[in-house]
Amino acid sequence: MNLREYLAWLYYQYLLITGIYVLEPWEKSIFNSILFSVITMVIYTSYVFVPIHVRLALEFFSGIFGGQPESTMALVN
């Protein structure tokens, strides 16, 4: 099985699993557009906001478990 057949098989599986094989072509394009938009927004949001939340969580848990503060100058002032 070459790459083209494999990709066609994957697309066929996608059609079967989502049930959009019964839709009209214009309905498929709308469904695929909405799905693509949602996936794109999730990826973008994950790229932008997850690192910030991970950093804040690490700072929070390092404070709980006795981590050193980021700067000793903050304690002096």
Give the pLDDT of residue 57: 86
Rounded Cα gap, residues 10 and 61, in angstroms: 42
Q: What's the mean per-residue pLDDT of the chain?
A: 86
Q: Cα separations (Å) of 56 from 24, 45, 59, 72, 73?
A: 47, 16, 5, 19, 20
Which residue has 């094989």 as its token pair?
21
The pTM score is 0.62
Q: Are the CB atoms for 21 and 13 separated by under 8 Å?
A: no
Is the confidence at residue 72, as pLDDT, over 80?
A: no
Q: Cα separations (Å) of 22 from 18, 28, 36, 56, 75?
A: 10, 9, 19, 46, 66
pLDDT tens figures, 25-58: 999 999 999 999 999 999 999 999 988 988 888 8
Give the pLDDT of residue 63: 75
